[in-house]
Amino acid sequence: TDFPWYEKIKTVLQGKFKLQKFRSLQLETVNAAMAGKDIFLVMPTGGGKSLCYQLPAVCSDGFTLVICPLISLMEDQLMVLEQLGISAALLNASSSKEHVKWVHTEMLNRNSQLKLIYVTPEKIAKSKMFMSKLEKAYQAGCLARIAVDEVHCCSQWGHDFRPDYKSLGILKRQFPNAPLIGLTATATNHVLKDAQKILHVQKCITFTASFNRPNLYYEVRHKPSNNEDFIEDIVKIINGRYKGLSGIVYCFSQKDSEQVTMSLQKLGIKAGTYHANMDAKYKTKVHKGWATNQIQVVVATVAFGMGIDKPDVRFVIHHSMSKSMENYYQESGRAGRDDQKADCILYYGFGDIFRISSMVVMENVGQAKLYDMVSYCQNMNKCRRVLIAHHFDEVWDSANCNRMCDNCCRDN
């Protein structure tokens, strides 16, 4: 708190972002960002990562360039920033000429109110025009910093490798004095080191928040082979423990998510489908319906979730297991962001192993990641938190679980 900018960031935190205090590691990260350091931040889903570059952006001259893998993610953030009265822009293929021109002009204005410019990695890889504008902004001292969101996408060892992220190495080469902050919810040490190399970050400060979410209860259940029994089982849980409470059901495929939604609706549950191939208007409708509690359950594929910020999700049910521990950790982590108790229930059946296996067969580390997930499901005696911690290179004492997983409850 003895940094010269402390009063300013505190005022902006409370006045602009309407938050009373910093959460774990946020202040440390913001201080390092304000001091112009290169940073890597690993923080669980719902820990408040985006504030770590949005707050410094508002408190600095010039703009912060944010690189994000998905348009839907950026739109979510823009919606929130707009509500807070913070000026931010998104540039993508469907941006109008006028909008692009306006953004380009603001990029060269040191006193501009535009604080955050969101782009996909493709923009960096493929748009010479944008890169030359960025070069001019850098020379004029207007590029305050670069934030690379979902930085694990750089590494082919990460659970969501995206080839366009490989081209982001150009940023540090071309703009060596612009501080860079890489953010992710899930990355092992191996992935972090790889990402640093790809981004040409020489020395950086790494902040790693604990993977542990003490308010989440983890449970694995055997998946009934008969589909009707299975749906009945899910409905029983939703109508019992979670009557009127908000939740997510994750499915393996788009087809599954549509079928499960219909089955739940038939049995009187207010459910809505969400997947990548849906019409944008319908997606927004489901998103808003869920946010305002008109829809109780979103039945989704993994397309739903990156950037989803609903604090009162009381349950996340996996209709099929995830394709990796990282994915499972991130998806189940959308529960209980308000720090109140929430449940993460995963249904495990042999059939899913084959379905996922045929999907990840082309990914170079896909099979190994799937086997880690399977061994988590099959383990019926070790504390779930110990299993998750081990995966993220952390050590965890099962005594600290406080009977917040099925295996610890079995013990006595």
The catalytic residue positions are 49
Strand-pair category, 342-348 with 313-318? parallel
d(CA 234, CA 236): 5
273, β-bridge pairs: 299
| Contact between 326 and 155 (Cβ < 8 Å) | no
297, β-bridge pairs: 247, 271
Among residues 99, 177, 182, the alpha carbon closest in space to that of 135 is found at 177
Strand order in the sheet with 297-300: 216-222, 342-348, 313-318, 246-250, 297-300, 271-274
Residue 179 sits at φ, ψ, to 5 deg, of: -65, 145
Copy the structure tokens of residue 275: 């997947």
| Contact between 311 and 185 (Cβ < 8 Å) | no
Residue 2 sits at φ, ψ, to 5 deg, of: -95, 20
